[in-house]
Amino acid sequence: MTNSVASMTDVSPFTLPNVRGRYAFAFDLSKVTWFKVGGAAEVLFKPKDVEDLITFIKDKDPTVPVTMLGAGSNVLVRDGGIKGVVIKLGSGFSEIAFNGNEVIAGGACLDRTFVLACAEKGLSGIEFLVGVPGTIGGAVAMNAGAYGGEVKDFINWVEIVGVDGVLTRLHAADLSMQYRKGNLPKGAIIVRASFMLRSDDPEAIHTRINTHLQQREDTQPVRGRTGGSTFKNPANMAAWKLVDQAGCRGLMMGDAQVSQKHCNFLLNLDAAKAADLEQLGEHVRQTVKDTTGVELEWEIIRLGDL
């Protein structure tokens, strides 16, 4: 986050605690989301470290809403922006520590960085995360998965800061993570996560990583302005097949398009608004329901005001 606030106000609309991290006001969230759409956060807060985050949560006005943002790769921020404070963890939450087969990563650590660091140490299991363009916090919150693997299969514990500002460690047995749902306590901010991995030959791990990256390159618009899979896969069905069957591949609404390459991905071709993308998604959902009888559920998290 820069403090290039020329187009922003420099006054908070509400009282904020004294912190060591940084605030930005009327911060344009299209700059920090993969779709490159959406309005502004009234306040964006980047805490310096866990203690700073705790201070903020404990001292803030309890009526001010808080929204967590990771790398913004699974969210659609609406055009009216987000009221209250959006928190984005920064470099103070990016560390990776190794302890035998246990790996502890900060909530802001990028999935790819994490997987490659594990590969260097000959630690395997989470290679499937290499092409997921989010953070460890987002991966745990969403129970990210791909190619048959899911975060929940490797989680040892998660440290969260709760809405009361208390730092708590939740062990795997306390979590009931489900398909694309971390199921953490409401409002919990994931600051660190511990994974238990298995040992393997680094070369074999790198081969799997390269295979996954190539698979993505071949089948997904990985360089597009997208939010990844738009809809969850219904039980024993692939969402993309239903979208295809309903004739929605390539469908457009303004500059929003159902990807030709992977029709469970929506794309902002250039100047789409969040409303174009959401309306296109809703149109696809309705068309799939009308043609197949299946009601698709959004996987993308829609945030903020219309």
Q: How far is it, in rounded angstroms, from Cα 80 to Cα 278?
A: 13
Of 139 and 242, nearer to ligand FAD (C-beta) is 139
Q: How far is it, in rounded angstroms, from Cα 278 to Cα 306?
A: 10
The Cβ of residue 41 has, within 10 Å, a number of other Cβ atoms equal to 27
Say whether 259 is catalytic: no
Of 95 and 201, nearer to ligand FAD (C-beta) is 95
| Nearest alpha-carbon partner for 44 in 76, 2, 99 | 2
- In angstroms, what is the minimal distance from the CB of 34 to ligand FAD? 5
Say whether 124 is catalytic: no
Binding site for ligand FAD (CB under 6 A): 34, 68-75, 89, 107, 132-135, 137-139, 141-142, 144-146, 189-190, 220, 222, 226-229, 301
Q: Across the strands, what pairs with 85? A: 43, 66
The Cβ of residue 129 has, within 10 Å, a number of other Cβ atoms equal to 27
- In angstroms, what is the minimal distance from the CB of 292 to ligand FAD? 23
* 160 in Cβ contact with 107 (< 8 Å): no
**Catalytic residue, candidates 30, 73, 194, 229:** 229
Say whether 229 is catalytic: yes
The Cβ of residue 196 has, within 10 Å, a number of other Cβ atoms equal to 16
- In angstroms, what is the minimal distance from the CB of 299 to ligand FAD? 8
Tokens of 112: 């790819």
**Catalytic residue, candidates 22, 112, 180, 208:** 180
- In angstroms, what is the minimal distance from the CB of 207 to ligand FAD? 19
The Cβ of residue 262 has, within 10 Å, a number of other Cβ atoms equal to 22
Would you please indicate which residues are annotated as catalytic (active-site) residues?
180, 229, 299
